[in-house]
């Protein structure tokens, strides 16, 4: 899988932009604030349907414009495909895949798979559980688009339940209905997260050993409140959750929020049996984060039989030379987009033939 070209109209600081890409390495060079990350964001939008930088679509529209267009042609299993998005100030976001309109994000997911790696991802281990849940949910949704529906529906019911808990009149029968609905979606979320974390642990363990020359052993555990086991099927998971959330009802009333559920899941990460978040050095935390992010790539390849596109947003400035080269050499068959403000990063690719260098300045690009 690789992106062949992109077209942007009235997007961020671009009035019009058309770029062809190399199927291997694309280096976007330019000073900060010129629009490099905007291109990566547009690629991500075509994959996920939303930005990794903002929840407000209107921020993507160029100043003084009514709407924006993002379109890209990509090759998947040797066939050309096109994804197009139109976002307007006074209209619903429109998405087309191969000229056919879609009305659900689930229908977009899995068409163009991407993995993005930014300086923020180096804090994946150190940050709070919300960031790790986001990492898990994003990757499962690319592999299993139906999962996106489960997590979206769960969150909608969760919001309604919390609103009820905060109200002056508490309808117990309505709480029962919400508990039943939550348990129906929760059973799938637990199942898919359990299986995903087991797979990601095997892959990241191997990658981490390579990164640390076999000195460190990485272990990842699924942390949840109902003690999900390897043998639990959907009915067992639903009953476990339903029993637990009902037993927590008095506590939920006291705190006026839902204390039990996959919205409080996390993963624990250990290096040589020590919790790296609590006891690991900054270097160990970064290396563990890199191992997790790189394992995403291998898992998508295993599940879809094609490598995703790798987006590296200003990551080289955060890594030493050894890890810079590792990222490039580890994935010889992957299309990579790299943004950098440092001209000397071109030297990393001086022995590579398939490198497309794109210079970005004030919303203009030259190749």
Instruction: For residues 337 and 340, give the distance between their C-alpha atoms in angstroms, rounded to a whole number.
Output: 10
- What SS3 class is residue 325? helix
335 is in an annotated binding site: no
32 is in an annotated binding site: yes
Give the relative orientation of helices 129-143 and 36-48 as an angle to the nearest 10 degrees: 60
How far apart are the two ends of the chain, measured CA to CA in Å? 22
Strand order in 364-366's β-sheet?
Answer: 114-117, 309-313, 336-340, 25-29, 355-361, 364-366
37 is in an annotated binding site: yes
33 is in an annotated binding site: yes
CB contact at 8 A, 337 and 26: yes
Instruction: For residues 308 and 356, give the distance between their C-alpha atoms in angstroms, rounded to a whole number.
Output: 18
261 is in an annotated binding site: no
250 is in an annotated binding site: no
68 is in an annotated binding site: no
Instruction: For residues 28 and 39, give the distance between their C-alpha atoms in angstroms, rounded to a whole number.
Output: 9
Cα-only R_g, the chain: 22
Give residue 305's region: left, alpha or beta (phi > 0; psi -120 to 50).
left
Pick out the residues of the known binding site: 30-37
Pick out the residues of the known binding site for ATP: 30-37
């Amino acid at each position: 899988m690789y992106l062949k070209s992109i077209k942007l109209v009235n997007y961020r600081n671009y009035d019009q932009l058309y770029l062809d890409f190399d199927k291997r390495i694309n280096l976007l060079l330019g000073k900060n604030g010129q629009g490099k990350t905007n291109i990566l964001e547009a690629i991500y939008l075509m994959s996920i349907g939303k930005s990794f930088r903002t929840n407000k679509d209107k921020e993507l529209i160029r100043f003084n414009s009514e709407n924006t267009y993002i379109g890209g042609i990509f090759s998947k299993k040797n066939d050309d495909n096109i994804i197009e998005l139109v976002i307007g100030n006074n209209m619903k976001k429109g998405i087309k895949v191969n000229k056919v309109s879609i009305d659900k994000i689930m229908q977009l997911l899995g068409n163009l798979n991407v993995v993005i790696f930014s300086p923020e991802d180096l804090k994946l281990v150190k940050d709070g559980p919300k960031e790790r849940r986001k990492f898990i949910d994003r990757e499962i949704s690319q592999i299993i688009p139906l999962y996106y529906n489960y997590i979206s529906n769960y969150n909608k019911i969760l919001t309604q339940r919390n609103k009820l808990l905060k109200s002056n009149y508490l309808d117990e029968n309505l709480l029962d209905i919400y508990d039943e609905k939550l348990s129906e979606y929760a059973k799938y979320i637990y199942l898919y997260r359990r299986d995903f974390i087991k797979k990601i642990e095997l892959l990241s363990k191997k990658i981490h050993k390579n990164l640390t020359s076999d000195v460190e052993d990485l272990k990842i555990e699924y942390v949840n409140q109902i003690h999900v086991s390897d043998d639990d099927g959907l009915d067992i998971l639903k009953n476990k959750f339903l029993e637990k959330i009902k037993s927590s009802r008095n506590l939920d009333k006291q705190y006026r929020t839902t204390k039990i559920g996959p919205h409080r899941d996390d993963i624990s990460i250990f290096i040589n049996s020590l919790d790296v978040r609590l006891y690991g050095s900054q270097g160990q935390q970064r290396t563990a984060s890199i191992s997790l992010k790189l394992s995403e790539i291998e898992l998508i390849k295993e599940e879809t039989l094609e490598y995703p596109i790798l987006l590296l947003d200003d990551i080289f400035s955060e890594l030493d030379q050894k890890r810079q080269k590792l990222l490039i050499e580890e994935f010889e068959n992957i299309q990579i987009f790299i943004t950098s403000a440092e001209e000397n990063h071109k030297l990393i690719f001086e022995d590579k033939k398939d490198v497309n260098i794109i210079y970005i300045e004030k919303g203009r690009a030259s190749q």
